Structures are given as C-alpha cells and as structure tokens.
Structure 1
C-alpha cells in the first residue's frame, strides 16, 4: 500500500503527503510493485475490489467506478477480435473517475472542505462529481478554449469554474498558486501521486479480464494514463497474474490545423513525457501520431458499426490499431485498445463535423446562427482567419459568404483585425463581441 511518507529513490529526500515528484530533485516518485492476492481471490465489482493494491480508506468515496468491460470488435473487418476496454462506461464518462475516487477519499480523510483541480476537461468533470458526492466544494481552473459542453458539466455538479488561461499548463500553475494561497487540497493529477495509483487499477483489471495479451494501445495525452496502466501491470506481474509485460503503443496527436478537435491529446508539454518514452522503449512498443480529422472519422465509424460513442481523442487508438495490423505488428486477438472518454464530452465537435445535421437556434435566421458560430470559433482561438473558419464550418458555405459574414461582424464592432499576425488577415473578438457571445449563450440556455 502507498505510504504517507516515502524516500526519493534518487536523492534520498523524505517525501511527505501525495507529491508526485520529489521537491528536492524533481524525480518522479514511484511505488514499489505490490505483491497482492492471486487472481482467483479477486471478485471484481468495482475499482475498490482491488483495495489490496490501494491506500487504505475505511469509507472510500465511490460512484461504482471501474470494472469496465472489454468487448471484442465484431463488425470492423480489419480489427476483428481487437479488445476494447470501455473506460467511457465509468460514472462521468472517463478513466479519470478512478483517480477522482481515490483523491476525494483522501481529501475527506484529511477533512478538506474544498479541492482545486485543473485539466482539459475530463478530470475536472470527474473531480466535480466526486466532490459533490463527498459534500465538499470544488474549484476548477481550465483553458479558455475548452468545449462548452465540458464546462457546463462541471457547473452541473456545483463546481466553481475559472477560465483564465490559454493552455492546460497555465491552468495547472494557477491551480497550484490558488491552492498555496488558500492552503487548500490540490487535486490536479499532475501533482498528486494518488491519480496514478487510482488509474493503475485499469491495468490490473485488464490482467484479470484478459487471459492473454501482448499489446496495449493507449492515448498518450499528458502521459498519466500510460504510466498508470504500466504501474498496474507491474503489480499484476509481481502478483503472478501475468508472465510478462506487454508492448505499449502510445498514440499522440499530429500537429495539424484540426488538432483542436482532440483537446484531451492537445498538450504542449506532457508532464510524464520522459517516463512514457522510457516505458515505450522498455516494452518494445512505439509512439504513433494520428491526425484529429482521422480520429473523428474513426469515432463515427465505430458508432455506426459497433454502437459505441466515444470522443475523438479516444478513437486515436483505432486508427493506430489499423496501422499496426496492416504492418503485421500486432494480432488483434491478443491486443487491447483503451477507449478513454465518452462522445458526450465532444458533442459540439461532432455537431460541427456533421454539418448537414446542424442546429439553428429558434427565432434566428440561418445567417445569424452562422455569425454566432464564427464568433465562437474566433473567441476560442480555434479558427481566426477566413479559410480556417470556412474549413471549421465543414466547407458547407461558400468562401465568399464567410468573408461577407466577417465583414459584417467587423462593421458591427464584434471583431477586429489582430495585430499579432501581419502575414494573414486574422481576427480577434472585441469586448462587445464577447458580451454578445455571452448573451447568445444565455439565450440558448433559456430556450
């Protein structure tokens, strides 16, 4: 079990609490693999069925997370037999519920009245839900360009939300500052070893559920999921559940103009990048980059063929598995792909992609709705110039009509030319424009 105090294996400094890295040398704190009970002694009903591998909490805060199924692909001919670990079946739709259950249990044990977190969405949604279950307050610091559907979910669970940064790295730094200032529990997974220990149960579950596997295909993101699963597999190996560690394939986002459509993979500085690279090298796997547009196509195909609705970032593993099968590098029957998040966390992205199914707000002309969508794209920094906006809107309108809308928005004082980029005619939203967006969102909420 995880101890409250541990010694850094690199410099020998004493670690106190839940720090993920040593305060003296910044070395990643790791827990020695745990020799637990035999597989036959485990009856898996939730993550907490694996409490022999977890810190001891008498009354854990749980929404029955974990014990997600592994389904075999039946209708995708190129991937027949591939195991799909359905992590989006967790209570709030992602693997992050495993981390939140452990972190909030710890916060309750320490009698914390509030937790502060930061993420690209899924963890903050999860943290908000588990804090609500425990009866404590939550505050989440998030990037300004986050999907509106994710932000609203946090608020539904009663969380206070602060949007004040351009990247998740800035959000994490601000959460750290606020936590230090108010002496409040910092729940951000990048700073808390309990996130790794909770999420490692995913690896343990795979070892219980799958008789034999020699390859895992995992979205990379910050690196937290990959490192966590590997930690669980180390415990499984030490407990005699598996004979050897599988190859790890880390799937990351290709840097293209459509990258914003896979927010949970769009991280400039993955905080466990070096550890993930070492894991990949040690396991004889590799990292594969996938374009966000391809992820969306794979996600939609999975919905239509297998009845599973996942977010674009999750579908990265399907595109990668397809490549690996074609290269004869993996056998689908002996491989498991992690579907990490629900498609309900990316409804706006799918709505934009499926332009023939677009929603027009009652009482507004289609032209007004298009202007509102253009304002949103510019305000979120996802598309700031004509061609980019045209592509983001699915190329359903003519380029000329897009430029006409931009001219009209400019005349109304809702957007102005950006001074940051002189090479292209880029726009930014004015104060009046942001006020208009807020009023429109309130109108949509009312309707």
Structure 2
C-alpha cells in the first residue's frame, strides 16, 4: 500500500492527502477502501497495541514512533448476572479516552506529511489526545475548546504543552473559530470530525473486539454518538473484517444520544436529513453536538446494520454513573448516558445476544 487517497462523498473526486487541505469543495473526506488483511499468525506475535493490525491500516511502516501504547484495552463482563453484556475499557487509554485511537493515527499521518503545527477543536477528550500525540511527535499544537469545558480536561491539554483557545458559546461555535484560524493561518487541521485518518484509528476498536471474542463479531454494539467518531470507526472496522472474510455478519449498531441534544435521533426517527438542534444542556458533554457534519453518514451506517438510535434520559445519567462506579468503573457522564440508554432498551435485546458497550472516558476527567 503505497498511497492513500480521499474521495468526496458527493462528487467522488479524488484528493491526495495534504497538510493544507482539510475539506473538499463539497461533501466530506472519506478513505477510499483499500485491501485489508488479518493474518492472525503474525498479529498474535506483535505488541498488544492497535498497531498490531498493520495489514489493515493506512501506514507506510510498522508501529509509528509516536505511539504511547494505545489499544488492546480489556473486554470484560460487566456483571455476572448478564454474562453476554461486555464492556470495552477504552478509558484505560494513555490520555483516558478512546479518542487516543484516532489521535495516534492522525498525528502519525500528520508527521508523515511533514506538518509542523496543527489546530484541533474539541469539547475536551479529542483535544487532550491530539495535544498528547503532538507532544510525542514534537509538533506545535493549538486546541480550540468551549470555555465551558471542565477544568480537569483543560489542565490536561495544557500539561501536554498545547496552546489553549477558549471560545465562548457552543461546541459548534468553537468549530467555526478553529476552521477560521485554519484558513487564515494555513495550519494543518487535525480534525477528528472531517479528517478520515482519525476514523482509520478508531476502527481498531472493532479489530480488538473481534480478536478478543475469538475471531467473531458481537451481535450488538451500544455506542455513544455525538460527532460519530467511534460509531463510524466501529462500522468501518467491522466492514473491513467482513470484506476480508474474517466475519460473515456485521454487528447491529445502536447509537445513543442525549435527550437534551439529539439531532441524529430526531432525523432517524422522522426519516429526514440531520439538521441543527439546540443543545438544551446535558451532563453528557461528549455527545452534545447540535449539528454533527457526519450525521447522515451515521444514520446510513446504523441502518446498514439494522440498528437504531436511542435516547439517554437526562435524569437517569447520574444514577447510571453511580451504578457503574458501584461495579468498579469510574467513568465520564457520556459513558453513564450510554449505559442509561442501554438499560431502558435492554428488553428489546435477546438475552443470548453478545452485546458490547465501550467505557469511553475516565471519570477522573469530570
């Protein structure tokens, strides 16, 4: 695999990866499908990290030097009373969230392309991840984040040496400010929303689950969805496995949105394109995205797996978080919201189904 192109999802015009180009004229960047392989006789001999799947990743060499050991997080039963419900402990990643998967891949490619400085926008976790991997790669980093972001997340971003730009207003206004700076300064836009290399990292979530379930796919995934970086990554990953003949059937994807900010759930329920909604304020700040640019792609992925989009009741998030803590898992409210939604939907899932839910972010970030 010598080169990787992007193509526009509307015009299908191809683009070569470039540090100055963050978005085509219309549509969104996506990775053009490339041949993937999963030679387990080789994979099992490699380091227990996401880079063990090198034959299915868009990299030009083995494990990049910027790696912090991300990946291969535990997959365990949440409660012995339900042995078919498993949690993937991605909050044990180097910076405390699953976003390290995407950031590791994106910054490896940024370094490969010669980027000297990057701009990222984030509600916290993605910014922290980009900052950490920029520090590892010796790349200057600017992170734009809402001024309402938790102090612990801001402290973590600053600790990695990134320059913080606090933007008053919504998450969407923060993204606008970041894109304006990108256009003005001509700096590489390390966007976890637009740049498809980020999803080429988060897709390793699927590969690990497949390996941990003894080379099978689960029946169902319960995934939080704001901008869709994990949901789309999981979809791409399991689709890669299916294309390679490693699995025969895609898992059903069930996306979770906050009751107080649910543009994708609304569009899915009403069978319309995703449009902007007001964020009424939610504890689950990680999925509080009023207008997700990839919303229609998310719905397409969910429908393709015969999945659905469900709601996390705001008044159940705190209780769900306490219940997870009582089981030994101290997680962020976004994961608590995902668990709250699952518990409301659980009666619709057969007891024999293997269900996987990620624990996306550490509670130490609250």
Q: Would you say same fold, with TM above 0.5?
A: yes
Q: Normalization by structure 2: what TM-score?
A: 0.86
Question: Which of 260, 275, 285 is matched with 1:263 structurally?
Answer: 285
Displacement of 1:333: 5.3
CA contact (8 A) 2:220 2:354 kept: yes
Displacement of 1:138: 0.9
RMSD between aligned residues: 2.3
- C-alpha distance after superposition, 1:172-226 (max 9, x if no partner): 2221221222221110212211111111111111111114411111001111211
Displacement of 1:123: 0.4
Displacement of 1:243: 1.2
CA contact (8 A) 2:38 2:56 kept: no
Whether 1:273 aligns to 2:295 is yes
CA contact (8 A) 1:57 1:105 kept: no
Question: Which of 243, 255, 259 is matched with 1:238 structurally?
Answer: 243
Displacement of 1:2: 8.4
Whole-Å Cα distance in 2 between the matches of residues 189 and 197 of structure 1?
A: 11
Secondary structure of 1:314 counterpart: helix
Secondary structure of 1:261 counterpart: coil
Displacement of 1:9: 6.2
Whole-Å Cα distance in 2 between the matches of residues 217 and 18 of structure 1?
A: 34
Structure with a larger share of its residues in helix: 1
Displacement of 1:292: 3.2
Alpha carbons of structure 1 residues 235 and 229: separation in structure 2 relative to 1, 3 Å: same
In structure 1, runs of 5+ residues without a counterpart are: 347-447
Whole-Å Cα distance in 1 between the matches of residues 169 and 179 of structure 2?
A: 16
Question: Which of 279, 292, 302 is matched with 2:314 structurally?
Answer: 292
- Counterpart of 1:3? 3
Whether 1:304 aligns to 2:329 is no
Whole-Å Cα distance in 1 between the matches of residues 53 and 326 of structure 2?
A: 35
CA contact (8 A) 2:8 2:24 kept: no
- Counterpart of 1:142? 145
Alpha carbons of structure 1 residues 332 and 268: separation in structure 2 relative to 1, 3 Å: farther
- Counterpart of 1:316? 337
- C-alpha distance after superposition, 1:272-297 (max 9, x if no partner): 11111111112111111012331221
- C-alpha distance after superposition, 1:358-387 (max 9, x if no partner): xxxxxxxxxxxxxxxxxxxxxxxxxxxxxx
Secondary structure of 1:111 counterpart: coil
Displacement of 1:331: 3.2
In structure 2, runs of 5+ residues without a counterpart are: 262-278
The 5 A counterparts of 1:174-213 are 174-211=177-214, 212=216, 213=218
- C-alpha distance after superposition, 1:388-420 (max 9, x if no partner): xxxxxxxxxxxxxxxxxxxxxxxxxxxxxxxxx
Displacement of 1:34: 3.4
How many residue pairs get matched? 342
* Larger relative contact order (Cα-Cα within 8 Å, sequence gap ≥ 6): 2
Alpha carbons of structure 1 residues 161 and 249: separation in structure 2 relative to 1, 3 Å: same
CA contact (8 A) 1:172 1:188 kept: no
Whole-Å Cα distance in 2 between the matches of residues 16 and 159 of structure 1?
A: 28
Displacement of 1:16: 2.4
Over alpha carbons, which structure has the higher Rg?
1
Whether 1:106 aligns to 2:109 is yes
Whether 1:165 aligns to 2:168 is yes
Whole-Å Cα distance in 2 between the matches of residues 258 and 343 of structure 1?
A: 23
Q: Normalization by structure 1: what TM-score?
A: 0.71
Whether 1:344 aligns to 2:349 is no
Q: Which moved more, 1:30-39 or 1:179-188?
A: 30-39
Question: Which of 114, 118, 124 is matched with 2:127 structurally?
Answer: 124
CA contact (8 A) 1:2 1:55 kept: no
Q: Which moved more, 1:14-23 or 1:335-344?
A: 14-23
Secondary structure of 2:27 counterpart: coil
The 5 A counterparts of 1:276-425 are 276-305=298-327, 307-327=328-348, 329-331=349-351, 334-346=354-366
